Structure 1
Amino acid sequence: MDVIIVGCQAGDEGKGKFTDIASRGAYAVVRYQAGPNTGHTVVVDGREYRFVQLPSGVLQGCVGVLGSGCVIEPVSLLAELAELRAAGLDPRLWISETAHVVFPYHIDQDGAEEAWRGAEVATSAATGFVTGTGRIGTTNRGVGPCREDKVGRIGLRMVDLLDETLLEARLSRLVPLKRALLHHVYERELPTTTVEEDVARLVEQYGAAGRELEPWLCDVPAWLREKRAEGRHIIYEGAQSFNLDLEQGTYPYVTSGYCGAGGVTVGTGTSPAHDFSVLGVAKAYMVQVGGGPLVGELTGDVAEHLITRGKEWGTVTGRRRRVGWFDVPLARRAIETEGITELCLTNLDVLAGLPEVRVVSGYEIDGREVASYPVRLKQVAALTPVVRSLPGWPDQDWPRVAARGAGALPGEALRYVEFLQSLLGVRITAVSVGPDRADTIHLSGPSVLADLAGAT
């Protein structure tokens, strides 16, 4: 059984938690895209584990795999591994030898490009949303510029770190190129060090990191074929989400990679003819980090309620997230495009205590119904949400509710889940009512997640 886990919104849905749960019945968990710009959090018995480049399934003892669709910052990856070892874990890991490498000049370029885009993050027409001239809200981890080099065929791969002659020759051309770009185009100050000094430092630091990671480099497509032939179960852990996908997302407010289920074939070398199940994850309300569309965005007391109870600050950046009511058309587009067969809903407990909860069930522009999510930014900015209201529910002892199962959910909360299910056209097979692994309720009926997790 091969299962792809993807987010149906704009990231931060809680994919790490359900990857961790599904990993109980898997042999390996594969990241097929992203890099040091993403973060997944898993809580087990009250202890919080934060994953940035590593797959979150390693907590269950699975083999972690980083495919060629990932970009690797090897120095911070080694630090992340050291932190896990200090916590008593010793993850098994394989890294694609052809994954591209993030260097410090990519981070400098990322910041310069973001400043060039505009003075403010593009969240409205006033801040450049309609014209695409505001900041997108990059994490400033160098991922986009690294992929620019990959597409431009001037990037360096993990395997290239092992060849000192090649590494020095390539960096001797790349470092002055990046300096010229930053200084002459983006008007950044030149560093006080010389090109030769920078090249020598990078060759030493990144060459050493490459040699330390060399035992874990491999031909990932061949390794995956071998494990599938052995009948092993493999989980493909999506990072970011469908609506941040470079091809299918809300461009230009997207990431630089392929976050959707289709990214698995590109980022791991797995045949598209392979039989996958696709499991979607959505939060019980919308969140957005940085710029881009958020139909039904909330402010005031309700927004503060969701942000405070949901701890809506980014794992990697620490930035406060924007929040809104659940956007059905946006999530449904992800479900239909990705072929999602079942959905997991997170943060149901966060909505508790509100007198009513609302759902964006559709859109209008100038009083006319809009059948699908538009691609023109001017039309997106003009969208008016069609909102449906449902009664809220009181706060609960949520760990106790989770322990007792679906029958212990407040009736209004269960009706909210059923209402979303009816609008989305896909079964919701599990809900999360707290951050801990144990704060999960498997709903009745057959479920790929329950099979992998061994739930009864």
Structure 2
Amino acid sequence: MANVAVVGAQWGDEGKGKIVDWLSNRADVVVRFQGGHNAGHTLVVDGRVYKLALLPSGVVQGKPSIIGNGVVVDPWHLVGEIEKIEAQGVSITPDLLTIADNACLILPIHPELDVAREAAASGRGARIGTTGRGIGPAYEDKVGRRAIRVCDLASEADLKTKIERLRSHHDPLRAGLGLAPIDPDALLAQLLEIAPKVLPFVKPAWRVLDQAQRAGKRILFEGAQGAFLDVDHGTYPYVTSSNTVAGQAAAGSGLGPRGVGYVLGIVKAYTTRVGEGPFACELTDAVGEHLATVGREVGVNTGRARRCGWFDAVLVRQSVAINGIDGIALTKLDVLDGLETLKICVGYRIGGEIFDYLPSSLNDQAAAEPVFEELEGWTESTGSVRSFKDLNANAVKYVRRIEELIGAPVALLSTSPERDDTILMRDPFLG
């Protein structure tokens, strides 16, 4: 049996929550390895909807779940999310949930800085389109070696020292943005108040995972966002502040690269993105409206409308390469029901030249015009179909053409938000 890493292969919002939840039935441990509570996963289980942001999807299944060191943790949001999920009948105990002791914290000063920067950038027409939840500033403090980490919550003396270090960096930034200086006493009091609610869950996550691996447990790595929001490989600077690709599963959990196993890329049957940035296949016509309406394309946590467009095979083929994807889970096929003609982007025209990849230059990305291939659509419903042989012929042709163009097989096919409406074509845990 192989471990499985689940990553978004587009710009996020591909339906990772449902797929991870479905795979959790076959896993023994589930671990989040990057991002923060800017990522939202919706699970629909027996008609009940669970909306998660920081908690790994495994908690709903009662599977041991880990928030890895690659995640930035807002402890106040975390405690609130635990309370919300427990109110839905899911008990979150230290036996179920582990928080890496070396994960870095999102503090109240981080969203304040995030929002102020976006406001200032908006006046210059240079918004990135962040969620305003402090993810970027928290990662900046991490790489700047001044972050407060989860383990620091156990020591008032350590907190005092680190708050002073933060002040020396943040107060000049805050002054330039018209924000008041950090109040060290208030911040310390907030941290000391939340600490007892977080510390019972804190352990060396790498050690928990190492023990699980040695015991032959099956580990499911749960990614957030998508490959083209990766801070290195995405449409920079319109990206998130962490590495979202599969390679981060090792670094963000502490298990080591050989432990990652099978890489499953989640791919929507069309393309969406949230926020600013280039999007060659974007549709602003009736088809785009159809995708947005039928697909319910609104951010889980932010409520922001998602931009919609045709399937971009160039983008996903590149994602297959940079993630080392072994197979994909193709989601929301049913949203295409009723469309007479479908289009797939097979190249970009930039300055008279045809590209079979997305260049790194922001100017080239903005200038890219999609080169489309047309396929015949279908009127039959694919919703809730649970066997590949029961799909109509044109839907089968569409799936097979996607496989050819991206260079990876479809391992799972999702035909509705419900957990059981998933067609297993290849079992990722069997490698």
Structure 1 position 266 matched with structure 2 position 251:
yes
Describe the superposition over 1:179-209 as per-residue Cα deviations: whole angstroms up to 9, x where unpaired. Answer: 43222x22x2538xxx5xx333322222222
Identify the residue that residue 385 of structure 1 maps to in structure 2: 370
- Contact 2:74 2:107 (8 Å CA) reproduced: yes
User: Given the superposition, is the C-alpha separation of residues 59 and 189 from structure 1 closer, same or farther in structure 2, using an over 3 Å criterion?
Assistant: closer
Q: Which amino acid aligns with 2:395?
A: A
Distance, in Å, in 1 between the alignment partners of 2:9 and 2:179 is 41
* Identity percentage of aligned residues: 40
Give the one of 168, 177, 182 matched to 2:174. Answer: 182
Structure 1 position 419 matched with structure 2 position 404:
no
Instruction: Tell me by how many angstroms 1:32 deviates.
Output: 0.5
Identify the residue that residue 18 of structure 1 maps to in structure 2: 19
Matches within 5 A, 1:62-141: 62-91=63-92, 92-119=96-123, 134-141=126-133
- Contact 1:342 1:447 (8 Å CA) reproduced: no
Identify the residue that residue 370 of structure 1 maps to in structure 2: 355
TM-score, normalised by the number of residues in structure 1: 0.90
Identify the residue that residue 251 of structure 1 maps to in structure 2: 236
Q: Which amino acid aligns with 1:267?
A: G
Residue 25 of structure 1 aligns to a residue whose secondary structure is coil
Distance, in Å, in 2 between the alignment partners of 1:258 and 1:310 is 27
Distance, in Å, in 2 between the alignment partners of 1:217 and 1:252 is 33
Identify the residue that residue 135 of structure 2 maps to in structure 1: 143
Identify the residue that residue 281 of structure 2 maps to in structure 1: 296
Residue 257 of structure 2 aligns to a residue whose secondary structure is coil
Identify the residue that residue 448 of structure 1 maps to in structure 2: 428
Mark the runs of 5 or more structure 1 residues left unpaired by the alignment.
121-126, 128-133
Matches within 5 A, 1:190-205: 190=180, 198-205=183-190
- Contact 1:143 1:256 (8 Å CA) reproduced: yes
Distance, in Å, in 1 between the alignment partners of 2:408 and 2:338 is 27
User: What value does the CA root-mean-square deviation take over the aligned residues?
Assistant: 1.8
Distance, in Å, in 2 between the alignment partners of 1:45 and 1:147 is 37
After alignment, is 321-330 or 173-182 more displaced? 173-182
Q: Between Structure 1 and Structure 2, how many residues are aligned?
A: 427
Q: Which amino acid aligns with 1:223?
A: V
Instruction: Tell me by how many angstroms 1:174 deviates.
Output: 2.8
Residue 142 of structure 2 aligns to a residue whose secondary structure is helix
Identify the residue that residue 337 of structure 1 maps to in structure 2: 322
Mark the runs of 5 or more structure 2 residues left unpaired by the alignment.
none
Describe the superposition over 1:293-341 as per-residue Cα deviations: whole angstroms up to 9, x where unpaired. Answer: 2111100211111111111111111000111111111111111121111
TM-score, normalised by the number of residues in structure 2: 0.95
- Contact 2:346 2:356 (8 Å CA) reproduced: no
- Contact 1:75 1:206 (8 Å CA) reproduced: no
Distance, in Å, in 2 between the alignment partners of 1:177 and 1:335 is 39
Instruction: Tell me by how many angstroms 1:94 deviates.
Output: 0.4
User: Given the superposition, is the C-alpha separation of residues 264 and 189 from structure 1 closer, same or farther in structure 2, using an over 3 Å criterion?
Assistant: closer
Q: Which amino acid aligns with 2:352?
A: G
